[in-house]
Each structure stands twice: as structure tokens, then as C-alpha cells.
Structure 1
């Protein structure tokens, strides 16, 4: 599928039972609704594909992994319903990743903010480079990381979630994320990262797919209620994004 400047791009390739999903957007690989929806649908499709054992999730370019929600779209929200619909896009994506029968390996080559951190936490196993710092900036613009909070907490615990969300202007480096369990391994550069990803994904793809699917289920035990919880959390963000505080903060960010 080709690139569209407004809606971003999504490419899928399948080789050796490994499906590589590469998303991109000119604005630091951020997510407008259309791209969220396409990625969600693609993960659901791959979940039912018997020729796929492992999914590799990556983003375009060699800089930012994912800047989270599209600022342009956040600024365009005019009512509660629109807000709820936009944030529920992240809820549906995380639920699709969690319910997917395949192991999802994340390749993180650069910084991740907000929803991008949620996307990383939704992966089952993540490899990153030293450049892969993370930040949950939501409180600084008057909203909160409500949709992604459950998945981040599931992966790194409540104290690490607090450290990220209550210090929204502070970057945490890749080794902090490694120590907290968001990343499984961190590499000096992308060349080393990609070499290891190839080894890991080929190994995973050689294992019994039934055992992988059972393992996946085990990793997400106790999260079945997220199908409704994350959509409820989306409503909170959808309402907060309309506040004067947020409108002003987004305007200031846009001017920078």
C-alpha cells in the first residue's frame, strides 16, 4: 500500500512465516485515525493467517519510532464523540495486538512518545537501539495516557508508569526502558539491532505455532476485560482533549 502524506503508509511483507508490518507518517511516524485503523485490521488479518507465525512491527526511517497521536487530528477534534472515536483507535489497536494469535516482535530504532510507548508495550518482545528513549507527554498537554496506561502498567508495573506519566517532559533513556522490562535487549546501532532481529524472528518462526499461540495467551492472561476498559478510557481522553488547557497547549506545541 502506498504512502499518503495525510494518512501515512503501511506495508506488509510475508517471508519465512514472518510478517513484517512497517508503518510510517511524515510527521515523525505519528498516527492519524486512518493509519490506526489500517494497522488494527492488518494485525487481525495476520492473526488468522496460517502462513504466519511471527509478526515484526517496525516504523519507517531511522529517527523517531513513533510520535503517538497525530497533533493535527487532536487539534481538529470539536466534540466529545469525535474525541472518543479518535482515542478508541488506540484502544482497538492495543486490543488487536493483545488478542492476536501470533507473537509480535517490536523493532524500536528511535524515540517513542505517548501512544508510541503504548504500541511498544503492546508487543510481546521488543528489541531497541540506544536511541530509543521514551516519554509519556500527555499530562503536559492537559490530557493523560489513559488508553495506554493499562498496557504500559501490564508490561512495566505501576511505579514505572507513574515515573513516566507524572514526569511528562522528561525523556527516559533506552536503558531505563530495558531495566523496567519494556525492552528485552538494547543495541548500539541499527545494524546490530537488525542482525539480532533476523536471528530471533527466524528462530521464533521455527517453533510449534500452537505452542507460540498458547504462550501468547499466557502472556496476556488477566486482560480480557480490556475489550471494554480501553474504550472507556478513550472516553476520558476524548473529553479532556476539548478543555481550554489542552487547546492552548496544542497551539503552543504547534508554534514550536
Structure 2
């Protein structure tokens, strides 16, 4: 049973050095600004928690993994400041995942759109089920996946980013994602995925914590400029969302 809270839910449990962070929202596990801020804070806290070696990022239920940012909040943006703040939500989470000292393993049990694909790309390792299709739909509403693009490109390359973002109405299946490096493993169903995930994270959590932290640093080499880069991208998106073209596209979409 998923959460019914309009500002979403976020729960963390820690067992055997593995922290499981679960987010949820009644609108296909999409993110309102408050939930993104809570997730970024939680990841920063876990980064400093010496009882934790590995983080598992998952979402509620057995349907969508994440439908991206809240459509209602996007439609409500009325000035540049609000626009930049709205798009900074995912920027802050991706940067928190990047700078987190702990390895982050994604558990993707269903479809992901937009910012949801960015979250998967910012994981250090990701498991998915066969039904975990992905799509970057931003161009259809007059914006682009600018904030998450660096994370997605880092994982699947510029060609993969182009293939996803320039065909915004097309779903790519989980095996497409695996071939390009977004997913490390694709399993038939949630039960199989959870069994594999359990073995994988238990093994990982048994290794030298300092070696894991050092490995994390190496995996993210060359991204130290992302704090400013993603802030610039949030501003770019904030400007676009105020354009007449985008306002009309959003109106049409709403109907």
C-alpha cells in the first residue's frame, strides 16, 4: 500500500550496515519539492553515518519507480526564482548522491520518467526488473532534461542521452538500459531482484568501509564542477518553463 500523503513519504531503515531509503508519492512516486529536499538531507546524513556502508534507494509499491518531478508544482511556476528553485530540487539530490561517501545501489521495480531516470543514473549500481522501462519526456512539454543530463550522459554516453531525449514519446526497455550501462542487472521480477540485491548488498557491506568510500570517490572523478553546472542547468530550465511555448504545451498536457 503506497502513501496517500500529498507531500510524499520518506523512510530509512538500517540493518547490517545497509541503509534502505524508500520514497513514495501517490502520483506514481513523483517528487514534490519538499520530498526532494528531504531526500537530499537524508543522503547527506547517511554519508556521515559510521554505522552505514551501503545505501539502497527504492520507491514504494510494485508499479512506477519514479515519474519525475511533480507536474502540479511545475505548472504553478510563475517567475524565474520559482523556476530555478523547482529545477534545483533534482540538482540538489543528484549532487547529494554524487558527494555521498557511501555507495548507492538503486532498486528499480517499474517505469521511470524524467528525473526518475536521473536518479537511477546517479546510483553507483542499479538493479531493475524487466518491466522497468525508461523515458525522457521533457521535450514534449517544451523543456529539456538539462539538470539530469550530466548524470545520464555519464552513465550511458552522449549517444544514449540523445537517443532518449530526442525521442521523448518512446519508452526504452530495461535491456536497452542494461546494454548502455544504466542498469547493472535486469531480473525477471521483483522477487528475483530482491534476492540478488540482498546477496549483493550484504557482500558489499562486508568489505572495508574505507575501500568502499575510496572506490566511490574514484567512480565520480571529474564531476567536482557539478554544483555550479547543475545550478546553471536549473536556471536554464527555469527560464524555459516561463516561455509562451512551454506554458501552452503545459496547458495542453494538463487537459
Same fold (TM over 0.5): yes
* TM band (smaller chain): over 0.9
Q: Quick one: distance in 2 between partners of 1:247 and 1:124? A: 36
Which residue in 1 is equivalent to 2:174?
A: 174
Supply the RMSD in Å over aligned alpha carbons. 1.1
1:134-213 superposed matches below 5 A = 134-213=134-213
1:56-75 superposed matches below 5 A = 56-75=56-75
TM-score (norm 2): 0.98
Which residue in 2 is equivalent to 1:247?
A: 247
Deviation at 1:3, TM superposition (A): 5.0
Report Cα offsets for 1:152-196 as digits up to 9, x if no partner.
001110000000011111110000000000000101100000111
Query: Per the alignment, in what secondary structure is the counterpart of residue 45 of structure 2?
Result: helix
Q: Quick one: distance in 1 between partners of 2:11 and 2:174? A: 26
Q: Quick one: distance in 1 between partners of 2:250 and 2:6? A: 18
Query: Per the alignment, in what secondary structure is the counterpart of residue 46 of structure 2?
Result: helix
Question: Unpaired runs of 5+ in structure 2?
Answer: none
Does the CA-based 8 Å contact 1:47-1:102 persist in structure 2? yes
Query: Per the alignment, in what secondary structure is the counterpart of residue 51 of structure 1?
Result: coil
Deviation at 1:250, TM superposition (A): 2.0
1:217-232 superposed matches below 5 A = 217-232=217-232
Q: Quick one: distance in 2 between partners of 1:66 and 1:184? A: 18
Runs of 4+ aligned residues of structure 1 deviating over 4 Å after TM superposition are none
1:73-152 superposed matches below 5 A = 73-152=73-152
Q: Quick one: distance in 2 between partners of 1:207 and 1:119? A: 25
Deviation at 1:242, TM superposition (A): 1.1
Q: Quick one: distance in 2 between partners of 1:103 and 1:155? A: 15
Q: Quick one: distance in 2 between partners of 1:49 and 1:4? A: 30
Q: Quick one: distance in 2 between partners of 1:249 and 1:130? A: 32
Q: Quick one: distance in 2 between partners of 1:241 and 1:149? A: 17
Does the CA-based 8 Å contact 2:3-2:26 persist in structure 1? no
Deviation at 1:4, TM superposition (A): 6.0
Does the CA-based 8 Å contact 1:24-1:30 persist in structure 2? yes
Q: Quick one: distance in 1 between partners of 2:191 and 2:34? A: 31
Does the CA-based 8 Å contact 1:125-1:184 persist in structure 2? yes
Q: Quick one: distance in 2 between partners of 1:221 and 1:9? A: 32
Q: Quick one: distance in 2 between partners of 1:8 and 1:252? A: 26
Which residue in 2 is equivalent to 1:12?
A: 12
Query: Per the alignment, in what secondary structure is the counterpart of residue 221 of structure 1?
Result: coil
Does the CA-based 8 Å contact 2:80-2:242 persist in structure 1? yes
Report Cα offsets for 1:53-81 as digits up to 9, x if no partner.
00000000100000001000000000011
